[in-house]
Amino acid sequence: MSRQARTSAESCDVVIVGGGAAGLSLAHRLTAPTSPTVTLVEAPDGPLRPPERTWCYWADDTSDLDEAVSASWARLRVHGTDGRAVTVDPAPLTYRMLRSTDFERLVRSRLDACGVRVLRATADTVRDTADGAEVHCTSADGTTLSLRARQVFDSRPRRTLPPARTRLLQHFRGWYVHTGTDRFDPEVADLMDFRVPQPRHGLAFGYVLPLSPDRALVEYTEFSRTPLTTEAYEAALVRYCRDTLRLDGYTVDSAEQGVIPMTDAHFARRAGPAVHRIGTAGGATRPATGYTFAAVQRQSRAIASALLAGRMAAPPPHGRRALAMDAVLLRALDTGRINGPDFFTDLFRRVPPERLLRFLDGDTSLWEEWSIGLRTPVGPMLRTAVELPFLPRRSPSAPSAGESRR
């Protein structure tokens, strides 16, 4: 019998395509006894499976994902280009870090316990049908399968980003370092350290998450239009560890590298009447910060609630006001009207920390956003806001970025 002949068809209520943060999170939210039947399609081992990643977010209470949290910090620090540091305590919020392998292990164990089917296969095509949608898959041994469902939620990265007025990238490389001696304060996370050489366009900063007194994730990050080579990231990390952090005798246990889209493009949440995009593909990445994980959790809970109520909806991961403000900030950064390092440093110096983090997460009132806006360079921001509606949206010439690590 040929491989082509070994094709079968199955049906369920919901098919989720992709086993990353978005796909697993939605499957996790659909494990209640009254949830619809779910099949999660995730790529088999190979080039389509992403490498291990780190996701970070802030939260103010316990959650059912705390078991997978590998570290958390109650205090945050930002270093300005002048070397001065501002340390804040955003209580009741804490900054939390998950490794993708820990998150995946936790969620998969719960999916197994609840009988959610996980299919290791490559999703070849996703298309609408008269009564829902169909996902055509191929397993590692060549067997093909057609999955029919009332709704499909697709988390695979887009081939290209939608047209946009501003398009930047947050690109980075990080080292998990071991110093052998106590060099880090495990109580404080360095979100942005601008004591690094700044590029001619955009901005650059260090990012340090201490895991113990002698271990930390140390990253070099840029907001700019084009990623660097691995060699350039490595050189920047060497300089940062040597000249800024004054580390010596350290070893690099592992590394991670990524690219996160920062764009004011409109991400359509539907690819068809019964096909929805989720995660980065559905616009979950916050344009001005690159953070994604918290928005994915909000969207997953909202989708699960809608499905339980019999509605066909994939709610937006970010509100309109938040996206409008991000569009202004991205354009102001891209044009050089505002100095990026000074802008972010001043926000942490002048805005109450808990309010600032809620603002970055899209959870502030109009009054709070107005008060934060008055603490930014008002003239350049107003000029940019007036200019934006008249700028055309243009299609990108480069492939889209993959899944965010934040």
Higher pLDDT, 404 or 158: 158
Q: How far is CA 237 from CA 147, 231, 242, 260, in A?
A: 46, 10, 8, 19
Percent of the chain with pLDDT over 90: 79
pTM: 0.90
Quick: pLDDT tens for 71-93: 999 999 999 999 999 999 999 99
Quick: pLDDT tens for 225-247: 999 999 999 999 999 999 999 99
Q: In the prediction, which pLDDT does 52 show?
A: 86
Q: In the prediction, which pLDDT does 140 show?
A: 83
Quick: pLDDT tens for 85-135: 999 999 999 999 999 999 999 999 999 998 889 999 999 999 999 999 999
Q: For 285-403, where are the alpha helices, taking DSSP H only?
A: 293-308, 320-335, 340-350, 353-360, 366-373, 378-387
* Residue 121 and residue 12 in contact, taking contact as beta carbons nearer than 8 Å: no
- Band the pLDDT of 7: cuts 50, 70, 90: low
| CA 344 – CA 58 distance, rounded (Å) | 18
| CA 143 – CA 137 distance, rounded (Å) | 8
- Band the pLDDT of 51: cuts 50, 70, 90: confident
* Residue 228 and residue 222 in contact, taking contact as beta carbons nearer than 8 Å: yes
Beta strand 94-99 pairing with 54-59: antiparallel
Q: What is the mean pLDDT of the chain?
A: 91
| CA 318 – CA 353 distance, rounded (Å) | 21
Among the listed residues 173, 164, 363, 395, the one whose alpha carbon sits nearest the alpha carbon of residue 283: 164
Residue 399 pLDDT exceeds 70: no
Please give the radius of gyration of the chain, using alpha carbons only, rounded to the nearest integer.
22
Higher pLDDT, 8 or 130: 130
Q: In the prediction, which pLDDT does 45 show?
A: 80
> Which residues touch 184 (CB under 8 Å, ≥6 apart)?
208, 210, 211, 212, 213, 214, 215, 216
Tokens of 153: 């939620």
Quick: pLDDT tens for 316-362: 899 999 999 999 999 999 999 999 999 999 999 999 999 999 999 88
| CA 26 – CA 40 distance, rounded (Å) | 10
* Residue 287 and residue 262 in contact, taking contact as beta carbons nearer than 8 Å: yes
Q: In the prediction, which pLDDT does 2 show?
A: 44
| CA 61 – CA 81 distance, rounded (Å) | 34
